[in-house]
Every structure is written in structure tokens, then in C-alpha cells.
Amino acid sequence: MGLQAYLPVLMLMGFVLLNAAIIIGLSQWAMRRRPTQVKSEAYESGIPVVGDARERFSVKFYLVAMLFIVFDIETVFLIPWGTAFRRLSCTGPIIDGVCSGATSFFGLGEMLVFMAILVVGLTYVWRKGALQWD
Amino acid sequence: MNGLRAASLDLGTLLLPEIMLSVGAMFVLLYGVFAPEGVVSTRRAHLLAIVVTLATAAAAAMLANQAAPLGAASGPLAWDGFRWASVAVILLGVLGSLVMAMEYNEGAALSAPEPPALVLFSATGMLLLVGSRDLMLIFLGIELMSLAIYVLTGLDRSRAGSAEAALKYFLLGAFSTGFLLYGMALVYGATGTTNLTQMAAVIESRTLGTDPLLVGGLALLFVGFSFKVAAVPFHMWTPDVYEGAPTPYTAFMAAGVKTAAFAAFARLLLDGLGPAYASWHYAAWVLAAVTMVVGNVLALAQQNVKRMLAYSSIAHAGYLLVAITSRSADGVASLVFYSLAYTLATIGSYCVLSIVSGGIEKRTRLTDLAGLARTRPALATAMAVFMLSLLGFPVAGGMGFFAKWYILRAALNSPTPQIKLAVIFVLASVVSAGYYLGVITTMFMKPPADDALPSRGVDARLTGGVVAVAAVLLLFLGVYPSPAVRWARASTMPMSPARAVAAPTPMQALAPVNSQPMLP
């Protein structure tokens, strides 16, 4: 195996860097800078800014965000499983969309195990009261 | 897809101990949220975890005597003596820490049912680590093991030291995991496989031993694993984390993590990357030498016993690296034997500390042990046995002497004899007498300190039982080591291509080093 296979990637990276340099450099070189109060605002033609974004959030927010990620990962895992489900359910190769072997419950069983573990986790956070805001 | 077909792998049998531990951990977790809060529930959660560990140990013992199931020959999970021996040592450590934690947590007012569940989750990762023959599974095992330990380190939220240790361990651990993963990616890039058996074959057939991609991957793997086993110069986190973590979890870390990470490191280097020995041999040599010297010298200066034991555990990582560097069946057997002796002595000494401190972490200074021989003679005697065992003292140190002896023998009888390393090994052990004997003189010859902190007088009878069992086992196997030697010699694992290079010399109990011809 050679590293030549990665040459297109390297070329693309080089092209992207060069392109970005040209665009930014050109606009820096050609632009005329006439700042006004309105132009310097964060949203030049949007709603007026009311305050700073660096406020303190409740720590509960992070807990909910973390729990959300756990169940988000579940969805992320379910989709590739769904695409591979036919192959996982067949002991032999699939020829023209028809399973040539016997039916296997491997894929289904694995997902059920995964789900059961997640349910244990959900039960735990539920009973701990982590899903309650107050 | 073909690697993970149900038809080609008997996952239920191959992973039975891991499945039992993780299901048990989930039960403990659910018990914790459905049982009423309080000390009784915490104690029951610990007892449940102990039962789960014992059941897993029984299952592993039965599996060890069974024929390998489908897919064990070259699949992602190993089925050999090395795996089962490492599983036994790890479960021993888990058991000791759980018993210690049950009583310690009551004393330290850490009443929560989650810690035993976390210990079991972490143990699942350790078991996976010692059984895996695939880079992906090794990574999964390391992460499963480490994530739970980060939490256990920071369990004592009332103490700033505990939180500091957890954050330090987590940040540095995550950083080192990056190195490990990058190394795995490069090794995969060089060999095109994550399976260790195939990797060895690919490296050998295509003579990839000095391939820059593989050597780069090896270097990064060394950094990642050196962090996990606390080898110099990647040891900086160890004293702070060991000191900050609650004592039972320090013991769990010192015994379990070291055994599991070393088992995986040995399998990776001797099985998968065995044909690239010439490329990693020198790195392992330097790492072992520096770790032994620095660990022992820095331990001399410590005033806190937990910190001292942390540096001592760094030094022991160096000794175990010598066993890996010798790359022979003897080396693997001595690694297992040493892990057992080290686990017993480590768990035992942390149990003594836990009893003496009575759940107050400030009471782990060396001066807090002063006069222990007068106030608690049995405890002081047991601690002396553990210290002598870690030192490698004959007879009174029990197994510890033979553990060091076998590593020394393996190093000298290796296909490529490690004479200089053996000399450093012996000299470093002599230096270690300075602090191990210091503990003993403090206990036996000094009067109790005037500024001794008051003890909380916690009930620690079970922890005392662990101390007694560990001390008696160490002494018994020190006087009569043949069962442990046989057990260690049976813990073989496929090594490539050591079998082709030289036939491993048999390890005979008590045979002097020069009774066997040195291999060229």
C-alpha cells in the first residue's frame, strides 16, 4: 500500500488553502474601509443587540445537554444498523436482494441488548430526578 | 461484516465474564435508585457487587478449563491462559477494593450506591482489555476502564484534593488517549488490520518492521500505554491522583489498572508487534530503566505514604517493563506472577492505610504510622510483610522475592539477554529498600506522633480480614511458591515470532540463573 492514494486529498487541501488566501488577500487589498457605528454592529442589518452573550447558564442545562447526547448517539447508531439489518439477518450472502441462507436474529438481538442497556440508563436518570428541571 | 457474524463467533461464551460483570453493574445501579437512601442500602449495594465479582470469578475459572469456543483461535477475543490468569488477578484486586470501599465509604461519609457499580463497570473494561486481540477492543477496554475510574477518583466531593485529582487524571487521560488512538491509526495504516494475529503475519511477511508508518505508530502507542501504566516520563499525574483519590479506589487503580494495562501492552507488543521487536525493543529498554530509577529515587523523598506508594507503583511499572522487554514465555509467566504478588501487596498495604486513617485522608502521612507496632501489632506486622514483599525481600517478603527473581531470570535467559537492564533492576531494588524499610522502622521503632490526628474509630473488621488474607497468601506462596509458579507458567499466550526464534526456556522454581545455558 502506498501513500500515493492520499495525493488527491493533499492536492485538495493545498487548493483550498490557496483559494482562501487569494479570496481574503484580494478583498483585503481591494476594499475601502469606511466604518460607521451601524456598520460595526454584530448584526449590521438585523435586530439591535440587547446584551452580552457571556452570561451564566444554570448547571442543569449541561446535564440535560449531556443526557440529550446519550440518546442522540442512539439515533446515530440506529441508522447504520438499519441499513445493515438485511445483511445482519441472513447467515449467507444476499444475492439479488434475496437471502441465500437461513434467517439470523443476530442483528435484532444485538440492537435489543443495546436498547436494554439504554433503558437501564434512562431508568437510572429518571429515578435520580435528572430529568426534572426544578 | 464477516468478523462479527453470529455464525463465526460464539460471543456469549467468549464474553461471558464481561457480560456477567456489566449486567451485575447495571443491577447494582438500578438497586441503588430503587432502594431507600442510606447507609444500609450502600452496604447492600457493595455486597451485591461483591457477589457479582465472585460469580464472575467462578465463571471465569470454569471457562478457563474449557476448550476454546468458535472464533477464539484468531478472532478479536483471545482464549488462552494469559487472559484467564490476568482475569483472576484483576478480580482479586476488585474484590479487595470493594470490601475496603464498603467500610471506608461509611467512615468517610460517602454514602452512595453508585461507587460499587462504577467499580464493576471499570472491571468490565479491564477484563475486556486483557482478553482482546484487536486494537479496537483494546481501545474500548481502556476507555471503559478509565472513564469509571475518573469518576471514582473525584468521588469525595467534600475534599478539594479529590476533585483536583479527578480533573488532572481526566484531562491528562483524555490527552494520552489521543496519542493511543493516533498510534493505533498509524499501525492500522501500515498493516491494514486491527487484528493482532493478522498484524503479526503481515509485518513478518512484508518485513514491515522498520516501516516509518509502523514505527511512528509504535512510538505513539508507547506514549499512550506508558501514561496508563505510569511509566517515566509519563508518570507526572500518578502521585497527585493516587494521593487525591479515596484510598480504596487508589488501591483499585494501583492494582487493577496496572495489571490490565500491562496485560494488554504485553499482548500488543509480543503478539501483534512481535515481529517488529527490533524497532520497539530499545524504547522499552530505556523506558524500563528510566522508570525503575526515577520511581525509586523520587519515592525516597515522600512524607505521605499514599504518595510514596504512588512512586513505588511507578517503579513497579519499570520492573514489569523488564519482563516485557525480555520477550519470552518466561517473561510472560513472570509478568503474571509479579502481577499477583504486586496486587496482593498493594491491596493489602492500602487496606492498612485505610484502617489507620479511618476514612480521614489527611491521616496518611508517614508519621501517622509511627508506633503502630505498639497500638496495633498485627496490623503493623502485616504492613511489614507488604512492604518487604514490594521490596522483594526473601521469606519475610513472601511472594515478592520470587516475583523479582523470576523477572530477573526471564531478563537474563531471554533470547536477547538483558544483562544491563538486570543490573539496573537489582540496583533500583536496593534503592527501594530505603523507603520500604523506612515505613517499617517508623512503625516499629518510633513512638506515636504527638500531633496524631484523632481517629473516627470506624468499624473495619472486613478490611482487616482482607489484610490478613493478603498477608497470609503472600507468605504462604513465598514459602511454597510452586502452585503459583505452575499457574503462572500455564498462562501462555501466542507470541510471534518468539516461537520461531528460540524455544522458551522452562522456568523452574528455585533453580539458579546460571544452571541453564544462556541463549545467544
Chain A interface test: which of B8, B29, B157, B206 (most A C-beta within 10 Å) = B29
Percent of residues, chain B, with pLDDT higher than 70: 91
Look at residues B66, B153, B31, B37 and name the one whose alpha carbon lies nearest to residue B101. B153
B26 in reach of chain A (CB within 8 A): yes
**Interchain pair B5, A106: CB under 8 A:** yes
Residue B52 reports pLDDT greater than 90:
yes
Residue A75 reports pLDDT greater than 90:
no
User: Nearest CA to CA, how far is B174 from chain A (Å)?
Assistant: 18
Nearest CB to A87; choose among B1, B7, B34: B1
Across the strands, what pairs with B365?
B304
| DSSP classification of residue B304 | B
Mean pLDDT value of segment B112-133: 94
Question: Within 13 Å of residue B137, how many CA atoms lie on the same side as its CB?
Answer: 25
User: Nearest CA to CA, how far is A120 from chain B (Å)?
Assistant: 7
CA-to-CA separations, B468 to B104, B258, B435, B438, B441, in angstroms, rounded: 17, 23, 23, 22, 21
B33 in reach of chain A (CB within 8 A): yes
Chain B interface test: which of A106, A115, A118 (most B C-beta within 10 Å) = A106
Distance, in Å, from the CA atom of B355 to the CA atom of B461, rounded to the nearest integer, reads 9
Q: What is the model's pLDDT at position B458?
A: 61
Q: What is the model's pLDDT at position B452?
A: 57
**Interchain pair A124, B29: CB under 8 A:** yes
Look at residues B203, B224, B98, B105 and name the one whose alpha carbon lies nearest to residue B156. B105
Chain A interface test: which of B2, B4, B5, B114 (most A C-beta within 10 Å) = B5
Q: How far apart are the first and last CA of chain A?
A: 58
ipTM for the whole complex:
0.78
B394 in reach of chain A (CB within 8 A): no
Predicted TM-score (pTM) of the model is 0.87
Q: What is the model's pLDDT at position B108?
A: 74
Distance, in Å, from the CA atom of B207 to the CA atom of B224, rounded to the nearest integer, reads 25
Q: Largest Cα–Cα distance in chain B?
A: 69
Mean pLDDT value of segment B374-389: 92
Cis, bond preceding B233 (omega within 30 deg of 0): yes
Q: Which residues of B426-452 are buried (b: 16+ CB within 10 A; e: fewer)?
A: eebbebbeebbebbbebbbebeeeeee
Radius of gyration of chain A (CA): 27
Q: What is the model's pLDDT at position B141?
A: 95
Q: What is the model's pLDDT at position A50?
A: 79
Residue B466 reports pLDDT greater than 70:
yes
Q: What is the model's pLDDT at position B493?
A: 79
Q: Name the band, by pLDDT with cuts 50, 70 and 90, for residue B248.
A: very high
- C-beta of residue B433 within 8 angstroms of C-beta of residue B299: no
Cβ atoms within 10 Å, residue A125: 15
pLDDT in tens, A7-39: 999 999 999 999 999 999 999 999 888 888 877
Residue B404 reports pLDDT greater than 90:
yes
**Interchain pair A120, B26: CB under 8 A:** yes
List the domain boundaries for chain B: 11-515
Q: What is the model's pLDDT at position B498?
A: 43
Residue B450 reports pLDDT greater than 70:
no
| DSSP annotation string for B82-95 | HHHHHHHHHHHHHH
Mean pLDDT value of segment B485-501: 70
Q: Name the band, by pLDDT with cuts 50, 70 and 90, for residue A1.
A: low
User: Nearest CA to CA, how far is A110 from chain B (Å)?
Assistant: 10
- C-beta of residue B105 within 8 angstroms of C-beta of residue B42: yes
Q: What is the model's pLDDT at position B187?
A: 94
Q: Name the band, by pLDDT with cuts 50, 70 and 90, for residue B183.
A: very high
Residue B253 reports pLDDT greater than 70:
yes
Sign of CA dihedral B33, B37, B38, B41: negative
Q: Name the band, by pLDDT with cuts 50, 70 and 90, for residue B4.
A: very low
Q: What is the model's pLDDT at position B170?
A: 95
Q: Name the band, by pLDDT with cuts 50, 70 and 90, for residue B468.
A: very high
Chain A residues whose CB is inside 8 A of the B192 CB are: 1
**Interchain pair B5, A91: CB under 8 A:** yes
Distance, in Å, from the CA atom of B442 to the CA atom of B373, rounded to the nearest integer, reads 9
Torsion of CA B459, B463, B469, B475, to 10 degrees: -100
Residue B520 reports pLDDT greater than 60:
no
CA-to-CA separations, B177 to A101, B141, B161, B280, in angstroms, rounded: 41, 12, 24, 20
Decide which of B66 and B138 is more confident: B138
Residue B23 reports pLDDT greater than 90:
yes
